[in-house]
Structure formats: structure tokens, C-alpha cells
Structure 1
């Protein structure tokens, strides 16, 4: 081996801790907005990562993480091979996304293996094919420029940074039309309880709105304004 080459051009972790699907089945009914609220806005990916086709499906699954060089599909293909049914592949490119990481053939392979979807801060191509396959994808955009192969360095199933969120392998990925939220494994139970409590409050608000035809939280808003210097203009 050439001694000038990187000591670790690629790193692959072959075993990760996954959540049992029975532990997160309730998240199938949780909107990302409410999950984000329960986490006080943390672990919510930046708004440039969004669904590339509609109607947008609701995505929930354990993260298989990839850190890839610009447009390098090598470890993404390996991730498709190593992923288990129900997983979500999460790809961080850490570079300007002008080359696709993913396309129709990869969507076909992933769907055949039971992979639930893709989340990436890069771009994809073959949009119509991906849509016809109904394979859920959240990405920053679409381009016809194809991916490259074997452009180290890269990592598979190690922590990544994507969309201003740190994602560990096995974390729960929740995505819908509002965006993508990541729930760390150790927080799953607490966040689920918080989401239930939030949804209960919102349901009570909706009932109050329909019953009274009045503004909710009016007293709280007026109290907060009373503590500020406010000029009301006619």
C-alpha cells in the first residue's frame, strides 16, 4: 500500500443498536411539528432538506448513517446492502450539493430490501422514477449530474452532522411535509410522553376554538403585553 494514502480512507461499522419497531410505532401518528415542539426545536433539520415529491409520505425508522465525499455513492451502496427492513438511510455530504448521491436504481434496490426512505443534505436524480416507485426521499434538490464512485474519505454507521443535527446510527428519524426530526434512542420514551401531552393540549385548544369562537391564550397574551411598553394605534 502506498504510505501516502489515508490511514482510513473508509470506515464502516458493521453492527449498530437499533430500536425495536414496537417501541416507536406511536411515532407513526406523530407529526414532525409536534415532535419538534416536544424537543423544544432541537434535532430538527434545516428547512432546505425537504421531500422531493408529493403527496409527502410519513416516514419513521432507525437511522443508518453515511458520511460521504462530494457525490461519492460507494458507502451509500454499501449502506443499502447492510441496512435492515425499516431502516432509513441518512447521508451527510458536508459539501455544496451540486452532484447527485442517489437515483432511481438505488431507490429500486432500497425499496426491494425494505428500506423506508432516504434523508440527505445532497441532491438526487431520476425524480420521476423515484416518485413512481413511491420511495420517500428528503433532499436539498434534484440534478441530472450522476454520482461518482470511490472518492474517499467516508464513513458508514458512525455519527454524522446533517442539517445542523447530529445523528447517531439507530436514532429514530421522523419526516413528513414539514421536514425531518431526529429523536436520540435514549430520549424516545420521554419524547413520546411529551408529544402525547402536547397533542392533548392542542386537541383541547381546537375544541375550545370551535365551542367559543374566541382566541385561545388571550389572557396569557394580554398579561405578557401588560408587562411591556405598548402603544396601541387607531
Structure 2
């Protein structure tokens, strides 16, 4: 029987050394360096406090409440992949829980972001797999398809292509197009430098204020 999941051949990945360079910057700095575009809608939030991940986007498209594409992607995951799922923004039926999260982690994925719902939040937190989702629902998924793996998707209002860089932390999720990676890294470095100077100025101001009141 032919699978209803269409898979793009030769899925593109960002080089690991390029992805690693993004790990030093928070999403807020990267967003500023991207002229504040490419940031996923604020309704998509981390499932547990302290979650953070950076990886090469592996995009999936599925119909609302169905996770057949998420099951079939298990055969395709490579270390460093960041699973990005357009699940139609549907939040009344989870398309992933701890079972898939553990397998994603075991096969080398660094995290998952779901424009839809997930479940088993406490278990996923306990084994520290980073997941961002639009909602939480205990209702389990159907497994019929259709769907796609590796083709461009929309994710919280942002286009995601295979091999784009996804960075996510407590503030949210950003997608950096592969062809803008070097530009964004340079911008983030300059923003980090400026912010460090401002932090130093603020520290000096606080110290002076404390000295006046001592």
C-alpha cells in the first residue's frame, strides 16, 4: 500500500558547524538581527521552563490531529535535526507526546516545534527533550495522513524550508533562512556587543545609586 506521506528526496541540512555558531545567541538577539521578522507567533511556547535548542529544520506538514507524518519521519531523522510541524494550528488533539519525543531524541533530533498540540508535558520535561507547541491536549492523534516531509511549510506565520536554522528558547522560536545565516550571525554579534556595553553602564549606574544611599 502506498503511503499518503510525500517525502522530498535528498532533504537539505544546514552544516553542523554553522548551526553551532547560533547557540551563543538568544532568540531575542537573533530576532533583532533579522530586523524582527522570522519570529514564530507568540502562541507557540515551550512545554517546559528552560527549554532551548538550535538545529537544522526538518519540516513536516500534517492535517489537524493526525501524526502519520511524524511517525514516518523517524526513518529520516539525522543528528542535529529540529523537527518543525505544521499541524494546522489545531489544539484539540495532540500530534505528539512522550513516545515520539523519546524517539526523536534517541535518533538525534535536538527539538521539535509544533504548530498544533502536544501532550505528556511532565514526562517530556523529565527527559529534557525541548518541545514548543501551540497548545496542550490529552487527546491522542489519528494516523491516516496525508502529509509531507521535507517540503516547505508555514510555521506560526513563518516559512520554513529544510536546512533553515531554527533557534528556540524561553522567549520563543525564530527561523533563519539558510542563505541569511552569515548576515544574521554578524548582526547578532554586534547586538550582543552593544547590549554588553549597556549592561555595564547599567551596573555602574546601580553602583553609583547604591553609593549615594549608603
Report if TM-score (shorter chain) is over 0.5. Answer: yes
Q: Distance in 1 between matches of 2:28 and 2:203?
A: 22
User: Does structure 1 residue 25 correspond to structure 2 residue 25?
Assistant: no
Q: Distance in 1 between matches of 2:77 and 2:115?
A: 19
Q: Contact 2:19/2:56 (CA < 8 Å) preserved in 1? A: no
Q: CA deviation at 1:23?
A: 1.5
Gaps of 5+ in 2: 208-214
Secondary structure at 1:190 match in 2:
helix
Secondary structure at 2:179 match in 1:
helix
Match of 1:148 among 142, 147, 170: 142
User: Does structure 1 residue 182 correspond to structure 2 residue 180?
Assistant: no
2:103 corresponds to which residue? 109
Task: After TM superposition, list the pairs within 5 Å mapping 1:213-224 onto structure 2.
Answer: none
How many residue pairs end up in the alignment?
206
Task: After TM superposition, list the pairs within 5 Å mapping 1:193-204 onto structure 2.
Answer: 193-204=186-197
Gaps of 5+ in 1: 2-7, 215-234
Secondary structure at 2:28 match in 1:
helix
Q: CA deviation at 1:15?
A: 1.4
Q: CA deviation at 1:14?
A: 2.9
Find runs of 4+ consecutive structure 1 residues off by over 3 angstroms.
none
Q: CA deviation at 1:211?
A: 2.8
Task: Indicate the structure (1 or 2) with the bigger Cα radius of gyration.
Answer: 1
Superposition CA RMSD, Å: 1.7
User: Does structure 1 residue 131 correspond to structure 2 residue 125?
Assistant: yes
Q: CA deviation at 1:102?
A: 0.2
1:21-59 CA distances to partner (integer Å, 9 max, x unpaired)?
Answer: 1122121110000000001110000111010112x2320
- TM-score (normalised: structure 2): 0.91
Q: CA deviation at 1:162?
A: 1.2
- TM-score (normalised: structure 1): 0.84
